[in-house]
Amino acid sequence: MNPDEVVVIALTALSSVAFLLVTASGLAIIFGIMRIINMAHGEFLMLGAFTVVQVVRWGLSFWLGLVAAPLVVGAVGLLVERTLIRFLYGRRLEAILATWGVSLIIVQSMQDLYGPLTEGIAPPLGSVRIGGFSISQYSLVLIGFAVVMLITMYWIFMHTRYGVMARAASQLPEIAATMGVPSERINMLTFGLGAAITGLGGAMIAPLVGVVPTMGAGFIAQAFMTVVTGGPLMVTGTLASGALLGATNSVVSYFATAFLGQAALLIVAIIALRLFPDGISSGWKGRV
């Protein structure tokens, strides 16, 4: 391989890692911190993608859609938490069934609104040439966005008063209550934040995938695989598993086929969980 091809492979791998991170980060908050198994995670991604589609249909900028998506999906998340999830904390089986029901309702509603056809959005930027190869500039934006998003999440949950209260309210609710932490409001905000980040992730991947009401089913398995393989540390664990799984998928897909790339991702996840049953970050120091 010549140096140009090596650079392209590396950037493609980083783009694949970034793709996994932006689709899994919202779930890392809802499942990693709140321990809620949100079966509607894929549908929250889909709502973010359709928000961008609608904004572009109105003749507005794609970048404006990136601003609108987390607001719309965050509002949906708050509604779901207030009407359903707040009664199910600590009741995992009921939460799984309830959020699965939410996912079915969202899919059917979007099919009624937009129909079953796949929508497409052209990537907002062109391509850049590296020797005899070309790579989408938007994939480079996606890499930068994933880095900024993880840094922001780390800062929120490690260096803000809200972050301390959010971790306390989910991990030690009784003690948090005696310390005056408004657990009900904090849990609501945390679920809404996870939904908003998921919506933003869906908006970011909209130019890279076909946007259709049933698209969420194609992402929820990868998102859960990334979060579970990452282990108990929400940010650093998700980053480690995303890097491992995304790079594996990208490299194998580059030299073989996309199907074998997905198969290799699954195999590596199984091996990682066999070696680290509690996740890659289970033995690391840190809180997020």
pLDDT digits (tens, 9 = 90+) for 229-271: 998 888 888 999 999 999 999 889 888 888 898 899 999 999 9
Domain boundaries, the chain: 16-214
Residue 101 pLDDT grade (very low, low, confident, very high; cuts 50, 70, 90) = very high
Residue 45 pLDDT grade (very low, low, confident, very high; cuts 50, 70, 90) = very high
Q: What pLDDT, on the 0 to 100 scale, is given for residue 47?
A: 96
Residue 104 pLDDT grade (very low, low, confident, very high; cuts 50, 70, 90) = very high
Backbone angles phi, psi at 211, to 5 degrees: -95, 115
Query: Beta strands 133-136 and 127-130: pairing type?
Result: antiparallel
Instruction: Read off the pTM.
Output: 0.91
- Tracing tokens 């195999």 back to the chain, one arrives at 267
- Provide mean pLDDT across the span 169-198: 86
Residue 1 pLDDT grade (very low, low, confident, very high; cuts 50, 70, 90) = low
User: Per mean pLDDT, which of 1-10, 104-113, 134-143 is the most reliable?
Assistant: 104-113
Q: Are 190 and 29 in contact (CB under 8 A)?
A: yes
User: Per mean pLDDT, which of 33-42, 67-76, 214-223 is the most reliable?
Assistant: 67-76
| Percent share of the chain, pLDDT over 70 | 99
**Model confidence at 227: pLDDT above 80:** yes
C-beta atoms surrounding 178 within 10 Å: 9
- Provide mean pLDDT across the span 204-227: 90
- Tracing tokens 């948090």 back to the chain, one arrives at 176
Q: Are 33 and 165 in contact (CB under 8 A)?
A: no
**Model confidence at 39: pLDDT above 90:** yes
Residue 183 pLDDT grade (very low, low, confident, very high; cuts 50, 70, 90) = confident
DSSP structural state of residue 134: E
- Provide mean pLDDT across the span 141-161: 92
CA pair distance 33, 180, nearest whole angstrom? 19
Q: What pLDDT, on the 0 to 100 scale, is given for residue 259?
A: 87
Q: Distance between alpha carbon 114 and the CA centroid of its chain, in Å?
A: 23
